[in-house]
Amino acid sequence: MSNSSNVQWGGRFAQGPSAIMQAINASVGFDRKMWRQDIRGSLAHAAMLAHVGIIAAADEMAIRQGLEKIASQIEAGEFEWSEALEDVHMNIEARLTEAIGEAGKRLHTGRSRNDQVALDVRLWVRDSIDGLSEQLRDVMRALVARAAEHAGTVMPGFTHLQPAQPTTFGHHLLAYVEMLSRDLSRLADCRARLNESPLGAAALCGTGFPIDRHMTAAALGFAGPTRNSLDSVASRDFAAEFLFCAAMLSTHLSRFAEEVVIWTNPYFGFIKLSDAFTTGSSIMPQKRNPDAAELIRGKTGRVFGALTGMLTVMKGLALTYFKDMQEDKEGIFDAAETLTLTLAATAGMVRDLQPNVARLAEAAGAGFSTATDLADWLVRELKLPFRDAHHITGKLVARAEALGTDLASLSLAEMQAVEPGITQAVFGVLTVTASVSSRTSFGGTAPANVARMAAEWQERLAR
């Protein structure tokens, strides 16, 4: 490559190796998102140092007042971040020392950037879990409200995206509530496991200063301190677990988004979304594109990528800390911010969508969707083995298909030609309404079940 090309494409590194090293080493461009967590950790650390007599009370007061002022400056956008100071920790500490002098230099006693960053990331992930969990509950509340509204609205249930059995729109929405409830539980489990403080593990082996790690852990809302200093600075499994939870949640949101894309297609015509969650075509004025749903589906790949990236960074690292671990943060930040947006969009879509009740009912009866009800009737009333009933039902479906009609429109004589034991009573189970009403087993699609389950969820989510 010519020198002119180097100047054109690498001009920022014209100063040579030092400029390159500064650029690759610096993380302040992204890790400054953790400034709140960094200041919280430093305040707790300073209070502990004063409590055990490592620093004077006057120094602790100066540190606290200095950090509070820095927090106000950052909040107001008045803080100047320096790439030369590498990261959020050094930027804040340097500004503190500049502001309060010698007392600022005492803050780092008994800790290292290794345990400091491990603490900040844990705090940031914990805060994110709390925020995302509340958003997740909001999506669930939206789904439950619509499920209660449409507990008896029949629609086709699918396997292989082929009509299978009639269900209800409310039951379908509650399926996602169950999925999301497990996501909520996973986030809570992740939070419980990460809720130990690494602060005081120092660089890797702890410290000889008489620090009180239980005090700082309690001050920061942790269940207690981590129990092995090496593990404290070396591990990011809590972050990988968070990203798995995020990936699984994104998968569920993406599946719902895919259904919205399908349902809004005019060939299905199951639901409509308003202009708030759709866009028009630049060239085809008749179109309404479900872009919000498509973007929810598409952004799932970013979250998957963050999980893969985290696991890849960590898979080859011996104990304890390596600079590779600087690469843990951007994926975490991006995944959390992506989920914040997609959860908000999902909640909005759920509240916005309008089911086409007539079209759903029409589609619910298509594709011989009550065939299983016929087979069940043969087992229940004629005491036939299910496999024989399945065979007879298949013949009747073939007969109805040949006549271009549905099962309920076959005559009793046509049915008896296949199975003489069939009586007029069979027609009571061949309607869509009868089919869904009969599914009264626990967790089944009967409207009464759906209404009861929606009420249970409303009560649980109101706590």
Enumerate the active-site residues: 160, 281
Spell out a b/e string for 168-183, using b for 16 or more CB atoms within 10 Å of the CB, else e.
bbbbbbbbbbebbbeb
Task: Give the Å distances, CA to CA, from 457 to 36, 140, 178, 248, 452.
Answer: 35, 9, 10, 21, 9
* DSSP tally for the chain: helices H, then strands E: 20, 6
Determine the Cα–Cα distance for residues 236 and 225; give it in Å rounded to an integer.
Answer: 16
Q: Which helix (H) or strand (E) is 355 found in, with range?
A: strand 354-355
Spell out a b/e string for 227-255, using b for 16 or more CB atoms within 10 Å of the CB, else e.
eebebbbbbbebbbbbbbbbbbbbebbbe
Q: Residue 264, preceding bond cis, omega within 30 degrees?
A: no
Determine the Cα–Cα distance for residues 172 and 154; give it in Å rounded to an integer.
Answer: 10
Q: Which of 295, 292, 304, 293 is nearest to 250 (CA)?
A: 304
Helix (H, G, I), strand (E, B) or coil at 96: helix
Q: What is the DSSP string of 125-191?
A: HHHHHHHHHHHHHHHHHHHHHHHHHTTT-EEEEEETTEEEEEEEHHHHHHHHHHHHHHHHHHHHHHH
Determine the Cα–Cα distance for residues 7 and 2; give it in Å rounded to an integer.
Answer: 9
- Measured in degrees and rounded to the nearest 5, phi and psi for residue 168 equal -125, 155
Radius of gyration of the chain (CA): 31
Q: Are strands 196-197 and 224-225 parallel, antiparallel or unpaired?
A: parallel
Work out the end-to-end distance of the chain between its first and last CA atoms, rounded to an integer number of angstroms: 65
